[in-house]
């Protein structure tokens, strides 16, 4: 009798895993996908702002974080970003490489990735059970019994368990899979929203709400410099958003006392800025602070810099600006300090930092050391990647390795 592989979760891992499983086993095993929502791959449609940044040509283990910072190395070597590109090429998806090594489908439509996976799965007649919210897994005589919230059951010999993390629960992922495996003996590291906006004291950002600036964001943990990113930063009424913020947000899960410093004039040194301000004092000696930053900084930002530098009244005359005040202003233009209080939560996060502890899984096969015959891959594990196609690359790579090992053990 043919053995059955049940794939729990019809996301990036689950769908690619079904195709790999068929490629490895052909007709020697039965494959079934169990998905909680009314359709598979909903999250894929939301990726990359609807364009799906499905891998990154520069992906290495250094782009990933978790308790074991080398954990992803083997998997990325087994299935590299080029393997991902080839995999999708063979499903009819041509790719294009845009800035910073980010890879998108040439059509620039996320639906191309989902349709390519679904069409292939349909052509292989792999059954998909939707609205099958897995709530329990038990094992009897080497067979898994998988039970849904509605009480339906599926029997399987092996399981690829890929229910994702806790980020964006509206797309099917609310951490339920992590909870279930914890009830069966696994443990997880703390779960924190990542690739997400950051919250700061509101008095430092509220007046700037809606302003977009191109600058450099540097992150420190107390006095220790961690990382910096350049790009468009957006101010909101609760904090900051934009690509550099998303990129640096993974630090929140790893460091305490996170402090951001925005450099509003990254093309100039602090001394340059001081000299520019000094020059403007001469040029604009006929006016007051309300007009002093005009043409240099966004007007509202100029007002905040004046305030942060100790000048409350915009009626302050430019001709009365001392070198000390100008030095102070130059400092704040180059180092606008924002304490990072929190992230903007799982509802707004793209991924989860933290997950099932990787040391509880075989580091070459991803088989659980606690539940033999069950393999995990993707975001459910304690692996989080940088922004830029890395998280999907982890999904594809871990899916390939886990499926290969799992299927080989079945045939």
Contacts to ligand FAD by CB under 6 A: 8-14, 34-37, 43, 46-48, 52-53, 132-134, 162-164, 167-168, 171-173, 176-177, 350-351, 378-380, 389-392, 395
Of 333 and 353, nearer to ligand FAD (C-beta) is: 353
Which of 48/242 has CB closer to ligand FAD? 48
Query: At closest approach, how far in Å is the CB of 333 from ligand FAD?
Result: 33
Contacts of 64 (CB under 8 A, 6+ apart): 71, 72, 383, 384, 385, 386, 390, 394
Q: Which residue is nearest to ligand FAD (CB)?
A: 11
Closer residue to ligand FAD, CB minimum distance, 37 or 284:
37
Pairing, β 143-148 against β 95-97? unpaired
Question: Which residue reads 């939301």 in tokens?
Answer: 46
Taking the complex as a whole, the smallest distance from the CB of residue 189 to ligand FAD amounts, in Å, to 16
Radius of gyration of the CA atoms of the chain, in A: 25
Least CB distance to ligand FAD at residue 92 (A): 20
Q: How far is CA 398 from CA 80, 203, 333, in A?
A: 10, 43, 44
DSSP summary character for residue 149: T
Residue among 117 and 338 whose Cβ is closer to ligand FAD: 117
d(CA 74, CA 12): 20
Minimum Å distance from CB 41 to ligand FAD? 7
CB 384 to ligand FAD: min, Å: 8
* Count of positions (residues) in the chain: 411
Please report how close the Cβ of residue 367 comes to ligand FAD at its closest, in angstroms.
Answer: 17
| Closest CB 286 distance from ligand FAD, rounded Å | 51
Residue/partner pairs of 85-90 with CB below 8 Å, 24 or more apart: 85/55, 87/16, 87/396, 88/54, 88/113, 88/116
Nearer to ligand FAD by Cβ, of 250 and 303: the residue is 250
Q: State how far the Cα of 400 lies from the Cα of 13, in Å rounded to an integer.
A: 8
Whose Cβ is closer to ligand FAD: residue 94's or residue 283's? Answer: 94
**Region of residue 232 (phi > 0: left; psi between -120 and 50: alpha; otherwise: beta):** beta
Tally: H helices and E strands in the chain: 13, 22
Of 98 and 226, the one with the shorter C-beta distance to ligand FAD is 98
Strand order in the sheet with 95-97: 55-56, 102-105, 95-97
């Amino acid at each position: 009798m043919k053995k059955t592989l049940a794939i729990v979760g019809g996301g990036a891992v689950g769908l690619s895993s079904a195709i790999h499983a068929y490629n490895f086993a052909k007709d020697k095993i039965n494959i079934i996908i169990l998905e909680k929502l009314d359709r598979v791959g909903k999250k894929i449609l939301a990726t990359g702002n609807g364009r799906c940044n499905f891998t990154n040509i520069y992906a290495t283990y250094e782009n990933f974080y978790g308790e074991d910072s080398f954990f992803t190395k083997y998997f990325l070597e087994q299935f590299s970003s080029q393997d991902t590109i080839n995999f999708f090429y063979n499903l009819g998806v041509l790719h294009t490489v845009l800035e910073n090594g980010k890879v998108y489908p040439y059509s620039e439509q996320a639906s191309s990735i989902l349709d390519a996976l679904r069409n292939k799965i349909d052509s292989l007649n792999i059954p998909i059970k939707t609205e099958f919210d897995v709530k329990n897994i038990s094992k009897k005589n080497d067979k898994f019994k998988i039970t849904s919230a509605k009480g339906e059951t599926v029997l399987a010999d092996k399981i690829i368990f890929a229910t994702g993390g806790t980020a964006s629960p509206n797309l099917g992922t609310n951490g339920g899979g992590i909870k279930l495996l914890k009830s069966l003996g696994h443990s997880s590291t703390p779960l924190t929203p990542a690739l997400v906006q950051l919250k700061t004291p509101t008095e430092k950002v509220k007046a700037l709400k809606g302003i977009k600036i191109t600058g450099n964001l540097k992150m420190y943990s107390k006095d220790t410099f961690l990382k910096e990113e350049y790009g468009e930063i957006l101010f909101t009424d609760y904090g900051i958003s934009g690509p550099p913020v998303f990129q640096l947000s993974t630090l929140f899960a790893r460091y305490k006392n996170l402090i951001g410093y925005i450099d509003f004039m990254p093309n100039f040194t602090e001394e340059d800025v001081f000299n520019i301000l000094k020059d403007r004092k001469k040029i604009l000696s006929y006016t007051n602070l309300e007009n002093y930053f005009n043409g240099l900084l966004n007007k509202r930002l100029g007002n905040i810099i004046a305030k942060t530098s100790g000048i409350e009244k915009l009626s302050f005359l430019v001709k009365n600006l001392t070198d000390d005040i100008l030095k102070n202003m130059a400092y704040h233009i180059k180092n606008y300090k924002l304490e990072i209080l929190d992230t903007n939560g799982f509802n707004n996060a793209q991924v989860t930092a933290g997950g099932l502890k990787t040391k509880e899984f075989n580091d070459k096969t991803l088989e659980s050391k606690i539940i033999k015959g069950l393999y995990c891959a993707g975001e459910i594990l304690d692996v989080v990647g940088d922004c830029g196609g890395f998280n999907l690359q982890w999904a594809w790579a871990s899916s390939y390795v886990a499926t290969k090992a799992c299927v080989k053990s079945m045939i």
